[in-house]
Amino acid sequence: MKNKTIYLKDYKVSSYFVESIDLTYELKKDYTLVTNESKFYKNINSKEDNILKLNWNNLDIIGIFLDWKKISIEIDSNIELIEDNTILFLNDLPDTFELKIVTKIYPHKNTSLEWLYVSNWIYCTQCEPEGFRNMTYYLDRPDVLSVYSTKIIADKQDNPVLLSNWNLIESWDLEDGKHYALWKDPFKKPSYLFALVAWKLDYIESSFTTFRWKEVTLRIFTEPHNINRCDFAMASLKRAMKWDEDRFWLEYDLDLFMIVAIDDFNSGAMENKWLNIFNSAVVFATPETATDKDYIYIERVIWHEYFHNWTWDRVTCRDWFQLSLKEWLTVFRDSEFSADMHSKSTKRIEDVRYLCNYQFREDASPMSHPIRPSFFEEISNFYTLTVYEKWAEVVRMYQTILWKSWFRKWMDLYFERHDWQAVTTEDFLNAMQDANNMNLSQFQTWYDQAWTPIVDVSSNFSAEKKIYTLTFKQSCPVRQWEKRKNPFIIPIKFWLIDSSGDEIKLENDIIILTKEEEKFEFNNIENEPVPSLLRDFSAPIILNYNYSFEKYSFLIENDSNEFNRFNAMQNFSTELLVNIVNSWVYELNDLFKNSFKSILIDDTIWNSFKAECITLPSETLIADKIWKNINPQKIFEARKYLITSLIEEFEVEFLKIYDNLKKKIDYKIDSEDIWNRKLKNVCLEYISFKNWPSNVYKAYLDSNNMTDSFSALSILSKIECKERDEVLDDFYNKWNFDPITIDKWFSVQATSPLENTLDNIKKLSKHKLFDITNPNKVRALFNSFSMLNPVIFNKPESYEFIADKVLELDKINPAIASRLVKNMINWKKLESNLWEKLRLQLLRISNEPWLSWIVLEVVKKSL
């Protein structure tokens, strides 16, 4: 099979740097002409000869001029094209020179949604990670920073708004109804942050005064008919600016900040310096169209992209192996902010749920990779949960060990040293060590070693000596490319609770593991305590301690750490479900019943926390615990059984909470109301198992906001009944004009466990509102199905269908095809007959000779 692996160890500095790059984009009807005039100078640190290696991909070349003299690939001996047509070599160059390159590109035909493309008539770019090379020949690598100027020339009537990065220098009308705008950077940036947007756009405007009294103008651009949906995004942006000042003393460094909302976008958003481009699904928010979850997600992405301005638009990464470096701190920062704004423990529970459901899965899959991989084929495959979420957890561990103020010290030193530089993980670690005067080198293990570490804990109590001992053994499976694994540094937050439920006095609430096996002794302990381990999920690990069901109950009642109370409940229900699946004995354990009830009826527990505690673990989480010979149907049945038993048992209690919360109030997007709605809708789902579908139908009719309607819609979509069709039709009739809201209609049908779901998805994929070139639609229908509907997805016909879609998508948008195929490769531990069927489909995909690199890399790993 083909292979084009790139290794971190092969990194070399560029032989040349770019002092400035002047770009001209002439947007024409059928094509765009790109003129790139760059001034190069020799990098004195490079040991190479005077050879320039420019990246390029699929370019239609009009001309190359070296110091104003035309040169050509056919006749000049100092130009060479090698390596799969991806690098242009220029030999024997002077130490400084200018290169002018003219290329012709075809944005209207570009369905990859990378480099320059057209979404709903809007011209826009996506250059991270390696899109720039599809527009012009360039040193398209993050460690080459340069000052850009961008002149955009276009028809004024079609494209009245012309945007690019940084300062607008001038704009002027030209002949033939054309006009131009010239934008220029005051400082250097890498090519992946280049951005350009053009079309008839409207904007809303606001402003923010920084703590140094600088006025910053804020604008959000969109098509005119969506302009009323951007106010929440604007308010979120201002909150982010304020928090970054309060918490990190980071002031916005420019006087304008712009966001553009685009319908066709491969991911959530992109942090291009001062011109962020967003998926419109992550901008538009009104109570009628967005759920509470959408609001929180929108807010978080806005913050994330804004925080990128410092981390890492100003300090960027040296090469793409350091990608996590650019994302982790930003994820960590947006998650901390979210916790500050809403609730620390709920935020922690949500983050951990996400981590355990998805990142742990990835870490155990064939795509598992270290936070900083040492090799890859396609960097686009590495925008993963490991890079984003696991890294953020690593930063959290630094903070746990060092405390917040030390963390700040590091941030300050880090920016002092590396502002406007392209850096590596080692630079980060060095700053952390130097700022805190500590040896933290063992953290390196987290960057270089894949897979989730496992920590087995055992305890021993000597009543005679009054000594309680905890023994920790860490392990981590070794992957093919690793020789061995070194022990990780792992902070375990913990406490000991005595039999009456009181906390025992201890000197320290944190144990820091650094070796494979370690023992910790506690003296003067009167009775055997119950340990509350890994409080707040202080490390991204799998911790095993042999808790009995009695101990789980005890912790649920007595643990003062909210997260661990939740976790005891989660682990208890997971174990119970695993037992049901493995033994086929359906019975509701009494201890579990009592614990569940104690949470359910406790009025002192706040609602969001209660909702989290009574939500059972997902089917995939249970599957991951079962680990081998997985039968998704059995898991589905077991879960259904448990929910049904609980509602049988506690109908009165559920109804009481539900009735209390369902009173109609005006929709407000504040934490208290969000939590109430969350609990109300979790209860409604339980109730639907007993008293369906009338209550749910009524909830749908009564709702005055999308959170409640969507919740009722998704519950009903799982039940075979006439109300289901009515509600689906009603939703469709209400929202068919709005591409973003109608995605909800696609996704609830894709995640339904009803028998006819696959047929329905096939039908929906031909629906007039479905469009396979739009990633949001693909995510709503195919990704939700393959990720969130394990029981229907794990059938031979479904594998075949999704494989077909992967192949179809690969010709349109390989990055999106690759994300879809990743949902197929996580399931290796299925019962053998299922895995065999799945494997055949993966083989079928891999055998296509025209398959893109990006999909091939994923599929190859899985076989």
Give the CA angle between residues 227, 233, 236 to the nearest 5°.
155
By beta-carbon proximity to Zn ion, the closer residue of 327 and 536 is 327
Residue 396 is encoded by which pair of tokens?
Answer: 């959290």
By beta-carbon proximity to ligand PHE, the closer residue of 55 and 449 is 55
Whether 305 is a known active-site residue: answer: yes
Please provide the DSSP assignment of 808-858 as one string.
Answer: HHHHH-HHHHHHHHHHHHTTTTB-HHHHHHHHHHHHHHHT-TT--HHHHHH
What are the CA-CA distances from residue 403 to residues 339, 391, 407, 408, 436 (Å)?
17, 18, 6, 9, 10
Nearest-approach distance from CB 304 to Zn ion, in angstroms: 5
d(Cα 757, Cα 776) in Å, to the nearest integer? 20
Helix (H, G, I), strand (E, B) or coil at 26: strand
Q: In what order do the strands lie in the sheet with 202-209?
A: 202-209, 215-222, 256-262, 275-279, 269-270
Instruction: Label each residue of 383-435 as H, E or C.
Output: CCHHHHHHHHHHHHHHHHHHHHHHHHHHHHHHHHHHCCCEECHHHHHHHHHHH
Nearest-approach distance from CB 235 to ligand PHE, in angstroms: 20
Residues 242-281 that bind ligand PHE (CB under 6 A): 266-267, 270-271
* Residue 270 binding: pick among Zn ion, ligand PHE, none (C-beta 5-8 Å cut-off by kind): ligand PHE
Residue 388 is encoded by which pair of tokens?
Answer: 């984003």
* Residue 126 binding: pick among ligand PHE, Zn ion, none (C-beta 5-8 Å cut-off by kind): ligand PHE
- The separation between CA 639 and the C-alpha centre of its own chain, rounded to angstroms, equals 27
- The separation between CA 856 and the C-alpha centre of its own chain, rounded to angstroms, equals 22
Nearest-approach distance from CB 324 to Zn ion, in angstroms: 10
Residues 756-785 that bind ligand PHE (CB under 6 A): none
Q: Does 327 bind Zn ion (CB under 5 A)?
A: yes
Nearest-approach distance from CB 308 to ligand PHE, in angstroms: 6
Nearest-approach distance from CB 96 to Zn ion, in angstroms: 35
By beta-carbon proximity to ligand PHE, the closer residue of 392 and 457 is 392
Contact 605, 569 (CB under 8 A): no
By beta-carbon proximity to Zn ion, the closer residue of 330 and 608 is 330
Q: Residues 26-45 vs ligand PHE: string with x where CB under 6 A? A: --------------------
Cα maximum dimension of the chain: 96
By beta-carbon proximity to ligand PHE, the closer residue of 193 and 713 is 193
Residues 6+ apart with CB under 8 A from 491: 397, 400, 401, 510, 511, 512, 513, 538, 539
Q: Does 309 bind ligand PHE (CB under 6 A)?
A: no
Q: Residues 788-807 vs ligand PHE: string with x where CB under 6 A? A: --------------------
Residues 6+ apart with CB under 8 A from 508: none
For Zn ion, how many residues bind (rule: CB under 5 A)?
2
**Tokens 């039709």, residue located:** 729
How is residue 321 annotated by DSSP?
G
For ligand PHE, how many residues bind (rule: CB under 6 A)?
11
Q: Does 389 bind ligand PHE (CB under 6 A)?
A: no
**HSE-CB for 836 with a 13 A CA cutoff:** 3
d(Cα 792, Cα 56) in Å, to the nearest integer? 43
Report which residue type is found at 708: D
By beta-carbon proximity to ligand PHE, the closer residue of 259 and 706 is 259
d(Cα 564, Cα 577) in Å, to the nearest integer? 19
* Residue 579 binding: pick among Zn ion, ligand PHE, none (C-beta 5-8 Å cut-off by kind): none
By beta-carbon proximity to Zn ion, the closer residue of 337 and 700 is 337
Nearest-approach distance from CB 145 to ligand PHE, in angstroms: 17
How many residues in the chain?
863
Report CA torsion sign: 346, 350, 355, 357. Answer: positive
The enclosing H or E element of 54 equals: strand 52-55
By beta-carbon proximity to ligand PHE, the closer residue of 304 and 372 is 304
Nearest-approach distance from CB 316 to Zn ion, in angstroms: 12
Is the backbone peptide bond immediately before 617 cis, with ω within 30 degrees of 0? no
Nearest to 199 by CA among 259, 135, 263, 156: 156
Helix (H, G, I), strand (E, B) or coil at 167: strand
Q: Does 128 bind ligand PHE (CB under 6 A)?
A: yes
Nearest-approach distance from CB 279 to ligand PHE, in angstroms: 9
d(Cα 307, Cα 287) in Å, to the nearest integer? 26
Nearest to 192 by CA among 147, 142, 150: 142
Nearest to 287 by CA among 661, 741, 695, 742: 741
By beta-carbon proximity to ligand PHE, the closer residue of 326 and 718 is 326
Contact 238, 265 (CB under 8 A): no
Nearest-approach distance from CB 393 to ligand PHE, in angstroms: 17
Nearest-approach distance from CB 277 to ligand PHE, in angstroms: 9
By beta-carbon proximity to ligand PHE, the closer residue of 308 and 744 is 308
Helix (H, G, I), strand (E, B) or coil at 18: strand
Residue in 36, 125, 126, 236 binding ligand PHE, rule: CB under 6 A: 126
How is residue 190 annotated by DSSP?
-
Contact 825, 861 (CB under 8 A): yes
By beta-carbon proximity to ligand PHE, the closer residue of 266 and 430 is 266
By beta-carbon proximity to ligand PHE, the closer residue of 17 and 303 is 303
* Residue 128 binding: pick among Zn ion, ligand PHE, none (C-beta 5-8 Å cut-off by kind): ligand PHE
Q: Residues 660-679 vs ligand PHE: string with x where CB under 6 A? A: --------------------
* Residue 826 binding: pick among Zn ion, ligand PHE, none (C-beta 5-8 Å cut-off by kind): none
d(Cα 349, Cα 539) in Å, to the nearest integer? 13
Q: Residues 288-307 vs ligand PHE: string with x where CB under 6 A? A: ----------------xx--
Nearest-approach distance from CB 391 to ligand PHE, in angstroms: 12
Residues 320-349 that bind ligand PHE (CB under 6 A): 327
The enclosing H or E element of 778 equals: helix 775-778
Q: Does 383 bind ligand PHE (CB under 6 A)?
A: yes
Only segment of 328-336, 584-592, 732-740, 832-840 that touches Zn ion (CB under 5 A) = 328-336
Nearest-approach distance from CB 200 to ligand PHE, in angstroms: 24
Choosing from 305, 327, 389, 612, the catalytic residue is 305
Residues 522-551 that bind ligand PHE (CB under 6 A): none
Chain contacts with Zn ion (rule: CB under 5 A)? 327, 330
Chain contacts with ligand PHE (rule: CB under 6 A)? 126, 128, 266-267, 270-271, 304-305, 308, 327, 383
Q: Which residues are catalytic?
A: 305
